[in-house]
A and B are shown apart, each in its own frame.
Chain A
């Protein structure tokens, strides 16, 4: 035992004094001094420290951190000699789990305890278990953006930081569900709120905020994000993360395995949020048409989550659904070839009759809208010169099945038009119907929409369709009415649809709100029937269908080339992109890859593909470790199999993504 003394107090063994600071790394940390020898085991040292501190406390999470070597002394059976610790070592006796503030994909802040001693890969896995996100291998942590202090001190509204630091997870077991959420969330109202934050989509952001947030303006900007990824083979402590620091939690690898709305409410929601912010902040480009679909889905998702309809659509009796389906079925069948006069008596199909103004756009026509007597029955629209002539032959008869219905509405201008593009063997005929008021418009519009899908107004969805249209109109009055080109504050978005919160700033600039609203609503009618999770999935699918989806950009310089180029890494390929033009120069697929090597000294990655194609490049925008980890990570992800479930081959991952020792 270290510290044997003679009677005079001289030490007779080879023991020496070791100073250990207690607590986290602070300059003025209290310290204890121990008498140790080189043969002392770490475990013994820990025991002595605790004895010396002489405080009743749970020390189980505490371990020794060796500052100079940036190393945790976690092997309790190792001796000090084995670690090479001498008297001058600065050791800190502190907790391995420390609070950090995580910035989630939905941009909310969450304080929780993360492991500072395990490799990041494991630490993230633990965090994800806490947040009940499956497949943690797809996520990782980034450092925050350095705050530019020079900016004028804007009063940032004090934002709510959710706190999960008190929550302790029973290790190993998958958390059981309790009251619809993992049991550890159901402890208090606070944690419950936190779970809702995690599992429910957030309302659309304030458009002003959107405009203020940094957006990449070029490919070069897009590479910046990726320089901030933390190293997954090292622990947080080693990467100079301090307790209380803010980190971003993001899906790093765009390969989402086994996404299951039932099992993954949090994962799905966070993924959706990340995709949404990607789009809103123009991290990924899309076309106007695509943006409208995204906006409509966001609108729909927001509406559902606000109304509390989480999960599947509110418990309609499946039996009723069946019945409806059967009815729809029958009705659809009936209307096709049914003789009207016979069947009407059996299943009366409601019809609309009214005086509407009709306009048929033609080349070289001077005629405007003209009043007609219009009868809308089943899926057929007939119009007559006047009501008196109705029994006779109509001026025109249009079967709306398969037609395009486009609203042309301006509530403030009291303009309620329905543009119909009706297909016929000869082509499409365009007809505009102009209604007098909202009520009339809603009825006719709903009828037209159903008819275009081949259903009649007898369809059970007719009434709800009418209601939905009326709701839209009121939204439009509230939202897009007189707003002009100025984005509105958050208060406006509270009550209605503020389209600016749903589209990226580029489109905010391009369109006026009142132009945007109808387009979003038009796109919305195609998704209005989706449940929350379906809509989220649809959003993700549309996101994944974008050509630029899932590409992480790095500035690299290829061997033998003098200029910087962009390397895009996607889940299945590497893409060489011309920096100036943005064109794809060359694509290499991982499936053709033989091996890759990293030269850590000259920061160069060399990759060999089939048929002796060799590529080498050095990374300019980020450490080559990040590039290496990306490639290895994607290859690791491609080895996942459904059969293995969620268990992770961490060794393989670290081998594929690890540092020097990997190859």
Chain B
């Protein structure tokens, strides 16, 4: 019996929406080209829109053929009964993981009751480059692979693949690559370079097939099971149906259950004996290609269909989380590439960058968006969704994202009086403004931002407006109101009733204009620009306004931001302050953390656990930690005002110099970061002791994100019982990895990563190797996804009905 695991990886660059649409019908060559072309985009944004890899088991040996009928059923059952044993063999050298605590989902528990994370080839010992090997060496015997935890596996594989891609793009033809497969018929399943074959198989598909799949997906559960059993005795075509049917039952973790079924069927069809456990992939790397075996029509159909189904699911999954690799320019002209997924906010990315850059984390750091073509720029507000903004950029854009300090970002909160009490530039007020004490500032802020409605600074004055599409600048008297910018029409007064609306803020962003004097003959260089975020080229719909001086400019820009974003801005500021406060605590922490061993539950799980590319939850969990810290910090403050100096989350503390009192150095627990990779982040966050209460042991600060790919808790984490966490595996407490110091330790591997095209983060091999349960907790995500799908289907059905 000869079986192979095929890893289909399917990448396209960020702008490949078109690719996906057309991709199905386009040639494989196109696909590859697009991938490569993404490297040439000046701003390296690659949309790894699809990174799917699923072990597929197919028979290739003619010897398998005769035994199709008889041994099928028992073998199937065997495969189901001991999925992890099978997987173990397939995985070569993995220890089976104890069953996960999560309750089996109704309807599929029989098959996937033991949700085994090893279905995907993630936890192999192979280094990234070698990991490709199985896919290139089809005849690897692997009897059955259960896709119990497909989601995190996918994610893990994704990151593997990213690493591989990295290597591949860098060094095609390096000797780790096996020679291209000489057998044309097998090319379809032999992904020597990865991407082409899937397309071919897809091309072979007809649209109706997928429709049929769709119908099957919504089929009834019991029927599905029945048919599954039947199907195993029938033709592969039918089996496919049943597989897909069954898949509909495997909500959650079983989204790739199809693959499992395929494995089962093909095994029983073609396998004569149980295959021996595969050798370590590392060792038998130069496997001989399997004997050429033209696939039967049926097989091809089945395979094509399988591919198509998988692809559909991939797409669904991929559609759910869009990821970009963003090259961020540092102020020292270096760049860092970050993996950003669509759920991440600017705040999360800043946090990532803080970890990477060892900067002081102060609140002035911001992501700064520069449009060289329009000569405009602005900072991202912390709550903005970065991917969303970047998606508006055109393909060949010169726009870039810079990580820098801008004191304008939160200037209004540092010195609110400059914005709220400025008496239209009168000298006297300017003098007094400087002296406002912290208490007054605080009350002013509270008054402006904490009431039932926020107060927009009263701003009015003459500005120059560049008329639509013209070159001239016209002076007009503008007023800022919460509802928009207004101007006084000719011959009218500035009472509300006479004002004419210039623009409302719903659909526009505010930018600073640079060098407008030169380019647009503006009266001064203090320009601000309002435009719809989607507009990328010069257009008459971009509004240019010009102020007399920098102070006015800042007042206007800030005022507009307050009017547009409202209290969110203040919340952002408070989070930034909390983050900055946390950071300053961290620096203290870094020195004295050798002491008290902590219960593993206090740590946030860190990058050791999984490198599956799902950053966002990780980032979110950080924010929950922050919030938590905030909240917990708030409470003691009420009772112990004396402590408020340490409190980053309270308004008072915001105005106090951070250094006035060094924060109590929390004792770092040595095992914090390294020891609890399987710890659900939520539990970790919840377990975080209040940061500032002296009576409590000094709080361990949330462990640093040593890596962007801090393992995410599953999206629907709440569903998982908090106590399902398996005991931390004994190996990880630092035997192989020293507990990472607070500043990100994972920087070194990243720094060496040259290719911006792919995620910089190839999983660190030793970690993975040691971690038999990298995927813990990840299944929920898949479940969530599948339940989403099911809901969608049900709804569709309802609509149709």
Contact = CB atoms under 8 A, between A and B. Distances in A.
Interface of A: 256, 259, 285-290, 293, 323, 326-327, 329-331, 333-334, 336-343, 345-348, 402, 404, 423-428, 458, 460, 506, 537, 540-542, 544-548, 572, 582, 586-587, 589, 591-592, 611
Contact of A545 (B481, B501, B541): B481
Contacts of A423: 507, 532-535, 541
A275 to B, nearest CB: 11
B214 A346 contact: yes
B497 A285 contact: yes
B319 A338 contact: yes
Contacts of A587: 421, 423
Nearest to A282: B497
B207 interface: yes
B532 A333 contact: no
Contacts of B541: 423, 427-428
B440 interface: yes
B312 A346 contact: yes
A547 B458 contact: yes
A542 B24 contact: no
B306 interface: no
B483 A330 contact: no
B499 interface: yes
B793 interface: yes
Given A338-B319, A541-B453, A345 B210 contact: yes
Contact of A347 (B213, B421, B501, B796): B796
29 contacts: A287-B481, A287-B483, A287-B499, A323-B791, A327-B788, A331-B792, A336-B319, A337-B49, A339-B23, A339-B24, A341-B21, A343-B312, A345-B211, A346-B214, A347-B792, A347-B793, A402-B534, A424-B535, A426-B536, A426-B537, A427-B542, A428-B539, A458-B796, A540-B452, A544-B453, A545-B455, A545-B481, A547-B458, A586-B423
Given A339-B315, A506-B497, A548-B496, A348 B788 contact: no
A277 B718 CA distance: 47
B483 A293 contact: yes
Question: Which residue, A346, A426, A506, A592, has most C-beta atoms of chain B within 10 A?
Answer: A346
Contacts of A591: 440, 443-444
Contact of B319 (A337, A427, A589): A337
B497 A334 contact: no
A595 to B, nearest CB: 17
Interface in B532-556: 532-542
A284 B80 CA distance: 74
A572 B447 contact: yes
B20 interface: yes
Interface in B342-393: 391-392
A158 B659 CA distance: 71
Given A427-B535, A591-B440, A338 B788 contact: no
B788 A426 contact: no
A540 B453 contact: yes
B534 to A, nearest CB: 4
A342 B451 contact: no
B16 to A, nearest CB: 8
Contacts of B495: 285, 582
A342 B792 contact: no
A425 B795 contact: no
A330 B534 contact: no
Contacts of B534: 402, 423-425
Contacts of B456: 545
B789 interface: yes
A357 to B, nearest CB: 25
A427 B423 contact: no
B736 interface: no
B168 to A, nearest CB: 23
Given A337-B322, A424-B534, A547-B481, A342 B24 contact: yes
Interface string B780-801: 0000000111011101100110
B795 A338 contact: no
Interface string B437-468: 00010011001000111111010000000000
Contacts of A329: 788
Nearest to B501: A289
Given A346-B214, A537-B452, A339 B316 contact: no
Contacts of A428: 532, 535, 539, 541
A334 B793 CA distance: 13
A338 B214 contact: no
Contacts of B789: 330, 346
A404 B508 CA distance: 11
Interface string B185-217: 000000000000000000000010011011001
Interface in B473-495: 481-484, 486, 493, 495
A458 B787 CA distance: 18
A546 B483 CA distance: 9
A427 B320 contact: no
B432 interface: yes
B255 to A, nearest CB: 13
Contacts of A427: 535, 537-542
A338 B20 contact: yes
A345 B213 contact: yes
Contacts of B322: 333, 336-337
3 residue pairs, one from A and one from B, having the closest CB atoms: A427-B539, A545-B482, A425-B536
Given A285-B495, A337-B49, A428-B539, A256 B452 contact: yes
Nearest to A426: B537
A566 to B, nearest CB: 14
Contacts of B535: 423-428
Given A425-B536, A425-B537, A427-B539, A337 B20 contact: yes
Given A289-B501, A293-B483, A582-B495, A343 B539 contact: no
B394 interface: yes
Contacts of A347: 792-793, 796
B30 interface: no
B308 to A, nearest CB: 8
B320 A343 contact: no
B318 interface: yes
B235 to A, nearest CB: 22
B17 interface: yes
Contacts of B799: 458
Contacts of A331: 792
B568 to A, nearest CB: 14
Nearest to A587: B423
A247 to B, nearest CB: 27
Given A333-B320, A339-B20, A341-B207, A290 B483 contact: yes
A314 to B, nearest CB: 20
Nearest to B481: A547
A361 to B, nearest CB: 13
Contacts of A343: 312, 315-316, 319
Contact of B483 (A342, A545, A572): A545
Given A337-B17, A425-B535, A460-B795, A547 B320 contact: no
B385 to A, nearest CB: 12
Interface string B411-433: 00000000001010000000010
Contacts of B444: 591
A589 B447 CA distance: 12
Nearest to A286: B496
A293 B482 CA distance: 12
Nearest to A330: B788
Contacts of B440: 591-592
A546 B392 CA distance: 34
Nearest to A349: B796
A423 B531 CA distance: 10
A340 B539 contact: no
B237 interface: no
B23 to A, nearest CB: 7
Nearest to A463: B799
B300 interface: no
A337 B391 CA distance: 11
